[in-house]
A and B are shown apart, each in its own frame.
Chain A
Amino acid sequence: MTDILSSIDPLAAKVTDGVVITLPPDYSGCANALWRAVIRRGVKDLHLVGVPVFGYHGDLLIGAGCVATVETSAVTMGEHGLAPRFTAAVKAGSIRVLDATCPAIHAGLQAAERGAPFSVMRGLIGSDILDRRADWRIIDNPFAEGDPIVAIPAITPDLAVFHAPKADRQGNVWIGVRRECMVMAHAARDTLVTVEEIVDDDLMADPSTKAGTIPGLYVSAVAEAKQGAWPQGLYTRYGNDNDHLARYAEMARTEEGFAAYLSEVVSGREAAE
């Protein structure tokens, strides 16, 4: 059964040192209230997997010293520019980066969700992305002559973590068309979700909501977090707080500025969260 938790702190306690975590892209619900709680706990050595990219939420975790490895197709703040703490950490050599390309991340997760050892995909041959990935292989297509193709091993994360508009009391989580969250939940050993609201309705009762719902089968724990994606937006609910994100992009350009940001927005918000 899915644990329905009364606050985000017990959910944050499930994010332990060294785990492999999938993160959704910026537009698919980022669990920022939870990440602030995780940072306050001083978690270390996380391995973040962008599905297939990430932005502010991952940059915040990197800057706060929670991350050892980043596996992603990109890290970007979109119109707010380069992700400043990611960029600084790569230049300093303080995190390991496993560069990917978007469909390779999806291919790895799809292998995991079907319990297969790998997926194959076109592209990549002749790129330095492939050259630098000792864990990826070129194999011969067994069904054709002289047709090299790339094998991507299953990505089986310890945790998938995201924020969603709503869940019901059985742990079913509504994600609408943000189906990368469905793949993330299928592939991960445990899925932790924060939601704007836990509703009394059964999300499985009506096929029109059921079609966009992750079954509780895949969801380990849910907690309510109002405005839980802030300062990022949440589909169907609210937009990005662009003034805040611009301010973050500016402050996080220096270590001192980032430290000031953390003390104001992360440590400083403990009582509110």
Chain B
Amino acid sequence: MSDARSEEILIATIAGMLAGLRHVAVGASSPVPGAAALLAKQRSGGAMRVSVLGSERHNFFTDGGKELFDCAGQGRIDAFFLSGAQIDGQANINLVSIGDPDRPKARFPGSFGSGYLYFVVPRVILFRLEHTPRTLVERVDFISSPGISDANVYRPGGPYALITDRCLFDFDKARARFTLRSVHPGHTTNEIAEQTGFAYDIPEVVPETPTPDAETLALIRGPVAEQIAEIYPAFAERVFGVGKAA
């Protein structure tokens, strides 16, 4: 039995989906994707660029807040990460509110860059680390950004996968539908069916999400933990027990 923490399994799984890419960007409120991107960079032998919003060390942009978006619009960013207070079965994401947006029952920070990046970045990995019928819903209350678009809408980018604290789904853009790809250790397909508010496909065989090997764990707990602490000190302290980098 591996001693990997659940966050470490997520980090290693996401990093696996980034292998071979040239440029991965990480936005706000994304500690697990940030750590995954830094892990993928560590393993790439210098071939991958990673820019992490909020980092001084992992940020090579020199033209202000607009540059990330301009860069993505040109197709220079291969992967990005988005989350949602709600995500639905067509991969629509809601980062704004529950209920009437003018008098909401709950209000979240806002859509950030999702209304654009979801359209132009080829491999957008969705993450939601609370997998319940409250968060994975049949239909979102507010579409910050749609999962799919009409054929005449410029859309080189879009959803690639959805990772949660229980499992990993693939997304098929043509069918606008998720498929269960793997179940994290300690979780079951029945539990996932109970905890998911949208319909999805289930293959005959659903493997367990692999746990990271010793070498990967050493990278995560060493250089990756130290680097993510610059941006997410509270996360790094909680998961890895490391203090903020000097």
Mark A residues whose CB is within 8 Å of B. 25, 27-28, 51-53, 72-76, 78-79, 82-83, 86-87, 90-91, 93, 97, 99-104, 106, 110, 121-130, 132, 146-149, 177-183, 235, 242
Contact = CB atoms under 8 A, between A and B. Distances in A.
- By Cβ-Cβ distance, the 6 closest A-B pairs, closest first, are A101-B115, A179-B64, A74-B110, A123-B116, A103-B69, A76-B109
Q: Is the interface of B mostly helix, strand, loop or mixed?
A: loop
A132 B56 CA distance: 35
Nearest to B142: A128
A101 B224 CA distance: 30
Interface in B175-212: none
B110 A124 contact: no
A102 B234 contact: no
A73 B110 contact: yes
A68 to B, nearest CB: 15
B62 A53 contact: no
Given A75-B109, A104-B115, 5 more contacts: A90-B97, A101-B112, A126-B150, A129-B96, A149-B154
B120 A74 contact: no
Given A128-B142, A128-B144, A100 B111 contact: yes
Contacts of B96: 99, 128-129
Contact of A103 (B103, B106, B116): B116
Nearest to A72: B110
B149 A125 contact: yes
A129 B110 CA distance: 10
B118 A123 contact: yes
A130 B110 contact: no
Nearest to B72: A103
B47 interface: no
Contacts, number: 151
Contacts of A93: 102-103
B143 A104 contact: no
Contacts of B107: 82, 86-87, 90-91
B54 interface: yes
Number of chain B interface residues as a range: 35 or more
Which of B70, B95, B110, B233 is packed against the most chain A CB atoms within 10 Å?
B110
Contact of B232 (A52, A79, A110, A182): A79
Contacts of A181: 64
Q: Is the interface of A mostly helix, strand, loop or mixed?
A: mixed
Nearest to B154: A122
B116 A124 contact: yes
A122 B105 CA distance: 31
A177 B111 contact: no
Contacts of B119: 122-124
A180 B62 contact: no
A90 B105 CA distance: 10
A13 B87 CA distance: 45
Interface in B44-85: 54, 56, 61-66, 69-70, 73
Contacts of B63: 179
A20 B107 CA distance: 23
A126 B109 contact: no
Interface in B100-155: 101-120, 142-146, 149-150, 152-154
A53 B28 contact: yes
Interface in B7-41: 28-29
Contact of B110 (A75, A103, A180, A182): A75
Contacts of A75: 109-110
Contacts of A28: 65
A72 B109 CA distance: 10
B109 A101 contact: no
Contact of A78 (B29, B70, B106): B29
